[in-house]
Amino acid sequence: MCFKISHCFLLVALATCFFLLQPADSAQPAGENKLEIFSWWTSGGESAALNALFDVYKKQNAGVEIVNAAVSGGGGSAARPVLQTRLAGGNPPDTWQTHPGYELIGQYVDPGYCEPINELYKTDGWDTAFPKELVVNLMTKDRKIYSVLAGIHRGNVLWYNTKLLEKNGIKVGDQMTFDQSFAACDKLKAVGVPALGVGDSGIWASAQLFENTLLGVIGAKGWVDLFDGSMQWDDPKVKEAMKLFAKMQDYLNPDHTALSWDQAIKALMDGKVAFSSMGDWADGEFLKANLKEKEDFGWVSHPGTDGSFIVVADGFTLAKGAPHKEAAMAWLKSIGSKEAQEAFNPLKGSIPARTDVDRSKFDGYHQWSMDSFSKDKLLASCVHGEAAPAAFQQALNDAVTAFVVDKNIDNFANTLVEAVKESQSAK
């Protein structure tokens, strides 16, 4: 397969009918002192962090009324279709949350839904404050920049309940291998504790577990090869990852299909499950619940992925035909400010996209993640729409849905091989 586009994050190379349900306000004529912001940030940690962004904005822009058009559903699984309907219907929010890479460019820039925001990068010194390669490779088309990042999540983190592990005599060091993690799972299973908490009512959380496991087996180089077409989805190494992913299904919480990602994290906090492989938006949930690092919860890289950082970055756009363009520009300017980045990220679990923030304002997890970002291989997430076109992202979710039921490795692999071909011929 070849998802070779210039903005495809192979950051290794770099560092190495909702239309009808729209909020009534969005139909206001331009010039109204309003701003409609679309996102999927509705969990406890996500809302707290979003509110922090609103607060900074309001301080800088008194008198503008914010219309929070968030649509719940982790990973944007429910929000994105709503957004597409609105965009196609000519009813855009002023600005919306998006991941860089294929999602931003393929879903929003190419169809003409976004305005470039280069002037902000020029006038606000962002040219130097944000990692240039990220901006250039993932958010730029024909020299026009289309988004500003609020923060950068690390996708490949394995979280655990410290007390529950201690109680069961399980020690986790700085890293964990697959063998160690399965040994821990067996120990927990023997005492009736589901080891691995998953909330895949939106299947993406299972796809996330698979994505992390895949990286753990094929490594950063394999990741680059897989997404630039040099490695195929039926490669023996990919199949090995599928096998491990199948094995993991034996240790899941029995109610996983009924839970959302944040409910699974809550189960971890409550000691009902021991581990969860989830991006560090999970940290936002721990913080919101006032849990203490190390004492209540801990983390390591998902097994096998130490040295790699799956980037799940969150940016905001400027809508073409934004009903409140001035307010939207001010919003983007605010997001890119140090003040907003320092207010938002400590609550969200992500690290600031700006590299010139005051590190002392961040806790131990964030320090760990910032270190990882600066030294590890940076890789684009497929599950979060960065590394491959939306059609393939969907095909992966569908294939994961089928696989967790039939556990047929050949079907899983062949489906993805075909999905690559289809997404290429659709170009």
Binding residues for ligand GAL, rule: CB under 6 A, are 40-41, 46, 74-76, 153, 261, 281, 312, 314, 384
CB of 48 to ligand GAL, least distance (A): 12
Residue 262: CB minimum distance to ligand GAL, A: 8
Q: How far is the CB of 223 from ligand GAL (least distance, A)?
A: 18
If the CB atoms of residues 337 and 381 are measured against ligand GAL, the closer one turns out to be 381
Contact 379, 308 (CB under 8 A): yes
For residues 245 and 281, which CB has a smaller minimum distance to ligand GAL in the complex?
281
Residues 6+ apart with CB under 8 A from 211: 155, 156, 310, 381, 382, 383
CB 392 within 8 A of CB 232: no
Nearer residue to ligand GAL within complex by CB, 40 or 121: 40
**Residue 66: its H or E element:** strand 65-68
Residues linked to residue 159 through DSSP beta bridges, in sequence order: 276, 299
Q: How far is the CB of 18 from ligand GAL (least distance, A)?
A: 18
Q: What is the DSSP letter of 99?
A: -
**Full strand arrangement of the beta sheet holding 157-161:** 275-277, 157-161, 297-301
One-character DSSP codes across 314-383: EEE--BTT-TTHHHHHHHHHHHTSHHHHHHHHHHHSPBPS-SSS-GGGS-HHHHHHHHHHHHSEEEE-TT
Nearer to ligand GAL, 46 or 94 (CB): 46
Shortest Å distance, C-beta 196 to ligand GAL: 18
- Residue 178 vs 314, nearer CB to ligand GAL: 314
Closest CB to ligand GAL: residue number: 74
Residue 101 main-chain phi, psi, to 5 deg: 85, -145
- Tell me the C-alpha distance between 422 and 296, whole Å: 46
Q: Give me the least distance between CB of 144 and ligand GAL, in Å please.
A: 23
Nearer to ligand GAL, 282 or 300 (CB): 282
